[in-house]
Amino acid sequence: METVLSGIRPTGNLHLGNYFGAVKNFLRMQNENNCYFFIADYHSLTTHPTPENLHNNVKNVLSEYLAVGLDPEVATIYVQSDVPEIPELYLLLNMNAYIGELERTTSFKDKVRSQPDNVNAGLLTYPVLMAADILIHNADKVPVGKDQEQNLEMARKFARRFNQMYNHEYFKIPQAYNFGAELVKIPGLDGSGKMGKSEGNGIYLIDEPKVLRQKVMRAVTDAGPTQMNSPISEPIQNLFDIMKVVSAPDTLQFFVEKYNSCEIRYGDLKKQLAEDILNFTNPIRERINDIASNEEYLRKVVAMGAEKARASASKTLKDVRSIIGFKSF
Q: Is residue 194 among the annotated active site residues?
A: yes
Minimum Å gap between C-beta 276 and ligand TYM is 18
For ligand TYM, the binding residue among 12, 21, 72, 225 (CB under 6 A) is 21
- What is the C-alpha to C-alpha distance for residues 132 and 319, in angstroms, rounded to an integer? 14
Give every CB contact of residue 264 below 8 A, 6+ residues apart in sequence.
Answer: 224, 225, 255, 258
Query: In 115-222, which ranges are E strands?
Result: 141-143, 175-177
- What is the C-alpha to C-alpha distance for residues 213 and 247, in angstroms, rounded to an integer? 15
Task: Determine which one of 24, 59, 172, 197 is catalytic.
Answer: 197
Minimum Å gap between C-beta 109 and ligand TYM is 16
Question: Contact between 142 and ligand TYM (CB under 6 A)?
Answer: yes
Q: Which is nearer to ligand TYM, 225 or 235 (CB)?
A: 235
Choices 25-33, 47-55, 144-152, 227-235; region in contact with ligand TYM by CB under 6 A: 144-152
Taken in order 66, 68, 74, 77, is the CA torsion positive or negative? negative
Is 121 in a helix, a strand, or coil?
helix
Question: Contact between 186 and ligand TYM (CB under 6 A)?
Answer: yes
Q: Check if the beta carbon of residue 244 is closer than 8 Å to that of residue 273.
A: no
- How many residues lie near ligand TYM (CB under 6 A)? 27
For residue 78, the cross-strand partners are 38
Question: Contact between 140 and ligand TYM (CB under 6 A)?
Answer: no
User: For residue 312, which of 131, 85, 142, 65 has the smallest C-alpha distance?
Assistant: 85
Q: Is residue 308 among the annotated active site residues?
A: no
Q: Which amino acid is at 81?
A: S
Using CB under 6 A as the criterion, what x/- string covers residues 35-74 for binding ligand TYM?
Answer: -----x--x-------------------------------
Minimum Å gap between C-beta 244 and ligand TYM is 12
Minimum Å gap between C-beta 11 and ligand TYM is 7
Question: Contact between 195 and ligand TYM (CB under 6 A)?
Answer: yes
- What is the C-alpha to C-alpha distance for residues 126 and 63, in angstroms, rounded to an integer? 25
Q: Is residue 109 among the annotated active site residues?
A: no
C-alpha distance from residue 58 to each of 30, 41, 51, 163 (Å)? 21, 7, 11, 34
Task: Determine which one of 194, 258, 271, 315 is catalytic.
Answer: 194
Report, as residue numbers or ranges, the catalytic residues: 111, 194, 197
Binding site for ligand TYM (CB under 6 A): 5-9, 17-18, 20-22, 40, 43, 130, 133-134, 142, 144-145, 147-148, 151, 184-186, 194-196
